[in-house]
Amino acid sequence: MSFMKDIKDKLILITGGASGIGKLMAFAFAEKQARVIIWDIDVDSIKTIENEALEKSLFIKGMICDVSNRENIYSEAKKLAAAYGPVDILVNNAGIVSKKPVNPAPGPLFLSIPDESIIKTIDINVLSYFWTCKAFLPYMVERNSGHIITISSAAGLIGVNGLLDYCAGKFAVFGFNESLRMELNRMKSAVKTTVVCPFFINTGMFEGVKTRFSFLLPILKKEYATKKIVSAVLKNKKQLIMPRFVHTTFILRLLPPAFLDWAANFFGISHSMDHFKGRL
């Protein structure tokens, strides 16, 4: 049986924690007696979560933080440390996906996405991971204890038609996690890292996406995904890829690119975004 670490009274920060799997993770960790802080820009959702947590005698506190803004991250990090102490577990969960243009121009879809949307995607899905780690990792290294969780995606392992900016970001943070793990290993640090690469999750962010073979690539239920992520953190797993079929991308990359392209088309990956609507 895998070792399960004790997170009682540990301070956990979850970015983008007011909705989706961020919210579910917040309650899952709090139910294990951790102290949970969520960062988000949705004031009403934060208040609702805090009230619900209070009714259940759980420690979940919200802070307004726009993770697309580096200075906001640094200033809120200082406030967090002053109010609650050092962060033990950082869950970089915040993420967005650009909405599909109503009348896209001819050519690759990303050409029709406004520059501002692409910049916003990279700021939140990639750069915020750098700034949160620069804010909290030094204290983990100093204490030789801590855990960084990077929420990447199956779209960080294989390119998806209609998701160019999102895929670019998720590929980036997959590499970010791997390089960070290597650096921590070289310095023999006890700080742990976990990268999470799920297929589409039914949080609403990918409303309208389709899968051709649901028995191989199911749209994941958010409760199931949350349970697997929390378990991976407690077990200090370095990597969580779900469902298992996504592991085949590593095998396909050993073959000429034409095989990967064929597989993406055959398994419906290249058409999964055809009816994408996004969060309604």
Q: Which residues are identified as catalytic?
A: 166
CA distance 182 to 191: 11
| Pairing mode of beta strands 239-242, 192-198 | parallel
Per-residue CA distances from 213 to 32, 113, 220, 265 (Å): 36, 29, 13, 12
CA distance 109 to 100: 8
Q: Take residue 246 and report the two structure tokens written for it.
A: 């996504």
3-class secondary structure per residue, the chain = CCCCCCCCCCEEEEECCCCHHHHHHHHHHHCCCCEEEEEECCHHHHHHHHHHHHHCCCCEEEEECCCCCHHHHHHHHHHHHHHHCCCCEEEECCCCCCCCCCCCCCCCHHHHCCHHHHHHHHHHHHHHHHHHHHHHHHHHHHHCCCEEEEECCHHHCCCCCCCHHHHHHHHHHHHHHHHHHHHHHHCCCCCEEEEEEECCECCCCCCCCCCCCCCCCCCECHHHHHHHHHHHHHCCCCEEEECHHHHHHHHHCCCCHHHHHHHHHHCCHHHCCCCCCCCC
CA distance 47 to 55: 12
